[in-house]
Amino acid sequence: MQLDSNFEQINKHLVNWQSRRQTAAFLLWIPRGLLAGLLIGVAIAAVARFRPLLTNAEVGFVALGLAAVGLIAGFVAVLVRRRPLLTEARLADQQFGLQERVSTALEIHDGRIETEPHLAHQQLNDTVYTMSQVDVSKALPLEINTQDWAMILLAILLLAAAVYFPNPQVAILNGQRAIEQEIAAQIEALEALEEQILQNEDLTEEQQNELLEPIQNGLQQLEEGDITQEEGVAVLSEAEAELRDLAQSNDNQALREQLEAAGQSLANNENGQQLGESLQNGQLSQAGANASQLAEQLPTLTPEQQAQLAQDLAETAAALEGTDNELAQQFAEAAEALQNGDVEAAQEALQEAAGTLQQRAQQQAASQQANQAAGQVSQGRQEVAQAGQQGQQGQQGQAGQQGQQGQQGQQGQQGQQGQQGQGQQGQGQQGQGQQGQGQDGQGQDGQGQGQGQQGQDGGQSAGAGGVGQGGSHTENVFVPEFVDLSDEAGVEVELPAECVANPADCGSLLNETPTDFTEESRLIPYSQVYGEYRDAAYEALNDGYVPLGLKGYVRDYFSSLEPNTQE
């Protein structure tokens, strides 16, 4: 019993020493774990100052998380280092100079060392006494490493500064994230548009495939990942251009406008009234159904009714000449067959006309769907182009352009000076007191109004507000006043002698002959040339180097000039 009592005292001392040693380890390793986490946070904060990585708030949250992980790691590291009792005894012998008394006592108690009972009793008594004489507070002090805590304080201060002071990389980071989010949103929009086209029952399978091709190509490129803003805008621009080409190729607006007059005669006919009214209303699909019904009714008509219907069909065919020759030919064949009394041929011609009208209705549906899709893609393109940009749309900051309201713009030729403001009217000041005002300078819905003066007495220059539907950057588009120079004599230019003798040596320009202005009144429709100019501009944007901040302006400018958006 005495031996067991002595062993319990030895065990109690060992447990107390182990707890104190563990406390000392906590005081050492928990701060170091905290410091390790904070230092990693400082490193991340430093990297975030040189590249767009994290916002200030995110740096703070990451640092707190790393500090917590460091604390837990230090705590766990101490706990997992618990030693067996015999190992603890040997460590106590070495640390406190007990000359292996404790480890020997444990081995005697465990039976590893066999000895006489009275010797064992004496050894345990001696061990208990020696252990009781150990000054644990002196031999195993609980110390705080001030150097570690100083480093912790410094790391906290650095992190606080990183969170508090503005980081110029945050704006870039937010811009990148906004671009990524916007591209993801456009992917969803294109997928919804794809589903909308597939569910459009007015389109044939071939038309659906034609409309889906540019959308699916755009989706494939956007979903590749790691796509830049410039690439995203280029992809959407290409899809938009292809959709607008499809809309234009399927457009039959001219036919629908002509049908209003072409259907007049049939609308006044008792038997062809439904067909005529459908034609006048531009309801091509309904007109096709009515033409098919009329073909079925032909055998029931009297000769007088057939003759009158033939005359009205002939008038309709004549009205469609030059607009839709195929449909006009079919109506003309039906009219001729009725006049000749060939009802079956007239029925066949009307059925063909019904099929043609259905095709035109499908073309109309394809054009409308393509226009709608192009509009959505155009809006998405503008949103991608504007993603990540701070401030108002149309912000100007390059090549001497003005940026904010009330600031002066660039100074033009002949002393002209225009003062512009975003969304405000601009009014130029005359250099010598005289004020001139442009004639066409008004814009609506916040569009700019340009005015300019010449810096000389009696001089004027015209300014005009730009078209505004494409974007805010077109609010102050300068349109020079038209000046007819056809009657001007020009300026004599003296050429070098070698150019006079051999014009080919001085370039191809000297070999050109003067243009004869004989038919200058003939014009090409704007809608026919717009697509070529737009495609050329988009191709130049994709292939050439144009600052990203200006590409959106060019695209918006051409979007604002879209023929179907002009009144």
- The answer to whether the CB of 368 falls within 8 A of the CB of 298 is no
Helix and strand counts by DSSP (H, E) for the chain: 20, 4
DSSP H helical segments within 223-302, as ranges? Answer: 229-250, 253-262, 264-267, 273-280, 284-297
Q: What is the pLDDT of residue 284?
A: 87
**DSSP state, residue 57:** H
Stated as kind and residue range, the H or E segment containing 132 is helix 117-132
Q: What does the pLDDT look like over 245-291, one tens digit per residue?
A: 998 888 888 888 888 888 888 888 888 889 989 888 888 889 889 99
Distance CA(402)–CA(98), nearest Å, equals 86
Q: In tens digits, what is the pLDDT along the chain, a chain of 567 residues?
A: 455 566 677 767 777 777 777 788 888 899 999 999 999 999 999 999 999 999 999 999 999 999 999 999 988 888 877 777 667 777 777 766 777 777 777 676 666 676 666 676 676 677 777 777 777 777 777 888 899 999 999 999 999 999 999 999 998 898 888 888 999 999 999 999 999 999 988 888 899 999 999 999 999 999 887 888 888 889 999 999 999 999 888 888 888 888 888 888 888 888 888 998 988 888 888 988 999 998 898 888 888 888 899 898 999 889 888 888 898 999 899 999 988 888 899 999 999 999 999 888 888 888 889 999 999 999 988 888 888 775 333 333 333 343 343 334 333 333 333 333 333 333 333 333 333 333 343 333 333 333 333 333 333 333 333 333 344 444 444 556 666 666 666 666 565 555 555 666 565 555 555 555 555 555 667 677 777 777 777 777 766 656 666 777 777 777 777 775 444
Collapsed DSSP state (helix, strand, coil) of residue 56: helix
* Nearest one of 33, 17, 41 to 76, comparing CA atoms: 33
Distance CA(343)–CA(94), nearest Å, equals 124
- The answer to whether the CB of 148 falls within 8 A of the CB of 31 is yes
Distance CA(387)–CA(190), nearest Å, equals 17
91-95-98 Cα angle (round to 5)? 90
Q: What is the pLDDT of residue 406?
A: 38
- The answer to whether the CB of 460 falls within 8 A of the CB of 480 is no
Q: What is the pLDDT of residue 127?
A: 72
- The answer to whether the CB of 218 falls within 8 A of the CB of 236 is yes
Stated as kind and residue range, the H or E segment containing 408 is strand 408-411
- Which token pair is 442? 């008004």
- The answer to whether the CB of 555 falls within 8 A of the CB of 465 is no
- Which token pair is 484? 């007819």
Amino acid at the residue 303: P
Distance CA(442)–CA(556), nearest Å, equals 19
Distance CA(204)–CA(363), nearest Å, equals 9
* Nearest one of 393, 418, 416, 415 to 407, comparing CA atoms: 418
* Nearest one of 474, 477, 479, 475 to 557, comparing CA atoms: 474
219-223-229 Cα angle (round to 5)? 90
* Nearest one of 206, 264, 256, 216 to 238, comparing CA atoms: 216
pTM comes to 0.53
DSSP H helical segments within 268-394, as ranges? Answer: 273-280, 284-297, 303-320, 325-339, 343-386
| Backbone angles phi and psi of 489, in degrees to 5 | -75, -25
Q: What is the pLDDT of residue 156?
A: 95
Length of the chain, please? 567
Q: What is the pLDDT of residue 557?
A: 78
Strand partners, 411: 417
Q: What is the pLDDT of residue 540?
A: 74
Q: What is the pLDDT of residue 434?
A: 37
- The answer to whether the CB of 347 falls within 8 A of the CB of 295 is yes
Collapsed DSSP state (helix, strand, coil) of residue 410: strand
Residue whose structure tokens are 């150990």: 134
Contacts of 59 (CB under 8 A, 6+ apart): 41, 44, 45, 48, 159, 162, 163
Amino acid at the residue 338: L
